[in-house]
Amino acid sequence: MKNDTLKKEPLSTNEKDMETKENNYKNEGFRLMKMKDFCMEFKDEDTNPIIEHIIGEKNITLLSGDVDVGKTWVAIHLGLSIATGTPFFNTPVRKRKRVVMFQFELTNGEVRDRMIILSKTYGWTDNFQIKVIDEDAEIFVDAWQKIEETCVREGITDSVIIIDNLYTSTDKNISKNADLQVVIRHARRIVNKCNNSMILVGHHNKKQENEYPILDMEIIQGGRTLTANVNYILQLGRSSYGTDVRRGKITKARGGYCEIKDIPFMVHFDPDTGMFRRGVIITNEKAHTIEYDKRWEIEVAKDFANYQKDEIFDKARFWQYLTTKEGWERTDSNNTKVSRLLKTLVSWGIFKHPNPKNPHNSYQVDLKALASVIKEKK
């Protein structure tokens, strides 16, 4: 916020004494300032977001997710959106920024493969850079001093830094508050000293009652010590709807009202392009957290397979079976439900279309696929 009306007035004797004290405070790491002087000194500091509800100037965004949910994919996707000015999750990028990624988990070859796939959408841009880590460099050693030195030495300022990931970037035990606080302090120092924004890639706790937990800050590794000291949190979770579906949720967004905060939404993954596309909001997140082999659709398919075996059938035959079950009266709403059920089971590979000439009303149970889903877990 700029305000040209803010002008310093001549200092009185008492104010000069106060200024002397303020200079002494600088050596202690803080200053005591009058309100008007404070606003004047920082009148040019930009507080507008880079991407609304996702990342802001001199802010830290935590991108946290389940194991194998595609956190690195999304981090690169987000970085390339910022570097090229391309919308991310349907949200415009307000400012293009130089993006520098520090990678501490994947091999250089694995990162390269992701870059090549994503280049189909973003092209090649010099505005996205990667700090190459020596292949023989060890992980789980503290890299934060080197990150800071690199930013200072190579002039990485007014940029966005991606740290992938928090856990492997340090030898500190981030489950312990005292250790985690050291890392957070260093991250904040890099942000403030170099006028950068930062994207931290984090993890969800592994020990969950459900394989697909509801997305909430409480499941983030590092707990409140971490979540209280970042500005934005974007969480990603797997979905029992399929391997190409994820759940997304913004669980923290500072800087104003966020109309989608704590509202889960579908995220669709295209492995051919590496792109994650934001879909519609999820009205019942619990439906995405039921383990795949316990979903009611699978129970219906399993029972129907005993009834139909692998013989070809149509929607009328499927209806004939369903009407023998409680709650499946022939109503308009149930008819819509049956159509969706058939489409779902086909998309999951449990039902298939055996007749290509009439794919919309010709079905067959894939007994082999069904058996692989319902087999007992050892």
The CATH number covering residue 350 comes to 1.10.10
Torsion from C-alpha of 344, 348, 354, 360, nearest 10 degrees:
20
Last residue of a domain, one of 232, 255, 288: 288
At 7 the pLDDT is 57
> Does residue 166 sit in the same domain as residue 304?
no
> Alpha-carbon distance 263 to 118, whole Å?
28
User: 237-251 burial, b for 16+ CB within 10 Å, e for fewer?
Assistant: bbbbbeeeebbbbbb
Question: Would you list the DSSP string of 198-255?
Answer: EEEEEEB-S--SSSSPPP-GGGBTTHHHHHTT-SEEEEEEE-TT-TTEEEEEEEEE-S
Q: Which residues contact 234 (CB under 8 A, 6 or more apart)?
A: 54, 61, 62, 63, 64, 248, 249, 250, 251
Q: What is the pLDDT of residues 252-269, one digit of tens each?
A: 998 778 888 999 998 999
pLDDT of 208 reads 64
For the chain, what's the residue count? 378
Identify the pLDDT of residue 78: 97
Domain boundary among 268, 288, 308: 288
pLDDT for the residue 22: 54
Instruction: Please tell me whether residues 126 and 18 are part of one structural domain.
Output: no
> Does residue 263 share a domain with residue 155?
yes
Hey, what amino acid is at 170? T
Integer-rounded Cα radius of gyration of the chain: 27
Same domain for 301 and 339, yes or no, is yes
Could you give the number of structural domains in the chain? 3
Give the whole-angstrom CA distance, residue 297 versus residue 118. 35
DSSP characters over 63-112: EEE-TTS-HHHHHHHHHHHHHHT--BTTB-BSS---EEEEESSS-HHHHH
Specify whether the CB–CB gap between 66 and 205 falls below 8 A: no
Predicted pLDDT of residue 320: 92
State the number of CA atoms in the 13 A half-sphere of 282 facing the CB.
26
Q: Are residues 8 and 72 in the same domain?
A: no
| Separation of CA 364 from chain center | 38
Helix (H, G, I), strand (E, B) or coil at 330: coil
148 shares its domain with 277? yes
Q: How far apart are CA 348 and CA 351, in angstroms?
A: 8
pLDDT score recorded for residue 376: 34
Q: Which structural domain range is residue 297 located in?
A: 292-374
What is d(CA 195, CA 160) in angstroms, rounded to the nearest whole number? 9
Residues 179 and 258 in one domain: yes
Residues 298, 265: one domain? Answer: no
Q: Are residues 115 and 242 in the same domain?
A: yes
Tokens of 249: 């949720």
Among residues 288, 315, 342, the one where a domain terminates is 288
> pLDDT below 50 — which residues of the chain?
1-2, 376-378
- For residue 134, the SS3 value is coil
Tell whether 313 and 370 lie within a shared domain: yes
Provide the pLDDT for residue 310: 82
For residue 182, what pLDDT is reported?
A: 95
Same domain, 26 and 92: no
**Residues 222 and 180 placed together within one structural domain of the fold:** yes
Burial annotation 195-222 (CB, 10 A radius, 16+ → b, else e): bbbbbbbbbbeeeeeeebbbbebebbbb
